[in-house]
Amino acid sequence: PWQAALGCRAAQVLMQYCILANHYWFLVEAVYLYKLLIGAVFSEKNYYRLYLYLGWGTPVVFVVPWMAAKYLKENADWGGSVCPCPVSPSQINLLIFMRILKVILAKLRANQKGYADYKLRLAKATLTLIPLFGIHEVVFIFATDEQTTGILRYIKVFFTLFLNSFQGFLVAVLYCFANKEVKSEMKKKWQLWKLDH
């Protein structure tokens, strides 16, 4: 019936929006960190509203025309297609990622204590930024589903699903639970709870 078809199409539109919103929030995180590292000296302006528009609003700019085109041109089949995005946020994040690594490397070299120490710290910073910026998306950006076959397709699907599924968990562990301030606050709350009970 038409209600089921409408529900499936609505779910497809919502899924496309959520995928794009996820990518654009990676971009917001990258821009925010870049601003903290580089631009904080030049401006004290709050960009919170701009970040909200970029993260939640930009996907609408791509999903609404895609939805209209699907409805007008390909109304029979909505599954399996991906909402096109002319400028990939993952590509922009890769550029910002490389700029941030350059800044981190310069800062680590400027106040290095030992040669091995600053290389280790750079490696740690790099591995920490990869899940935050969604840089893992760039690995298979040129290997589209149509181009990959056989074992390469299985490898791509496995890594894409694995990294996308655990990305939130990885970011939470790295930026929340491994954070010294968060750990000390959790320790205080635990001790208060133990005293109360």
Could you read off the pLDDT of 24-45 as tens digits, one per residue? 888 888 888 888 777 655 555 6
Residues 36 and 65 in one domain: yes
Task: Please tell me whether residues 167 and 99 are part of one structural domain.
Answer: no
**Which pLDDT value is given to residue 53?**
93
* More confidently predicted of 164 and 13: 13
Question: What is the pLDDT at residue 77?
Answer: 64
Do 65 and 144 fall within a single domain?
no
Q: Do 109 and 168 reside in the same domain of the chain?
A: no
Whether 107 and 141 share a structural domain: no
Claim to verify: residue 16 and residue 97 sit in the same structural domain: yes
In a domain, 118, yes or no: no
Given 55, 82, 113, the domain boundary residue is 113
Ordered DSSP codes for the chain: -HHHHHHHHHHHHHHHHHHHHHHHHHHHHHHHHHHHHTGGGT-----HHHHHIIIIIHHHHHHHHHHHHHHHH-TT--TT-----SS-HHHHHHHHHHHHHHHHHHHHHHT-S-HHHHHHHHHHHHHHHHHHHTGGGGTTSSS-TTT--HHHHHHHHHHHHHHHHHHHHHHHIIIIIT-HHHHHHHHHHHHHHHHH-
What is the structure's pLDDT at 112?
62
140 and 105, same structural domain? no
Assessment of whether the complete model's pTM goes beyond 0.85: no
Domain boundary among 82, 113, 144: 113
Label residue 175 by pLDDT band (50, 70, 90): confident
149 lies in a domain?
yes
139 and 71 within one domain: no
Q: Return the pLDDT at 42.
A: 52
Please compute the mean of the pLDDT values over residues 182-194 and round it to a whole number. 88
Q: Is residue 148 part of a domain?
A: yes
Mean pLDDT of 11-25: 87
Query: Is there a single domain that holds both residue 88 and residue 12?
Result: yes
Structural domains of the chain, count: 2
| Mean pLDDT across the chain | 78
Tens digit of pLDDT for each residue in 41-92?
Answer: 555 567 888 899 999 999 999 999 888 888 887 766 666 566 676 667 878 8
71 shares its domain with 151: no
Task: Give every CB contact of residue 197 below 8 A, 6+ residues apart in sequence.
Answer: none
In-domain check, residue 40: yes
Let me know if residue 128 belongs to a domain.
no
Structural domain for 191, as ranges: 134-196
In a domain, 73, yes or no: yes
- At 172 the pLDDT is 76
Confidence at residue 58, expressed as pLDDT on a 0 to 100 scale: 93
pLDDT, average across residues 112-121: 61
Residue 126 lies in a domain: no
> Could you tell me if 75 and 172 lie in one domain?
no
pLDDT at 57: 94
The answer to whether residues 91 and 179 belong to one domain is no
Is 153 inside any structural domain? yes
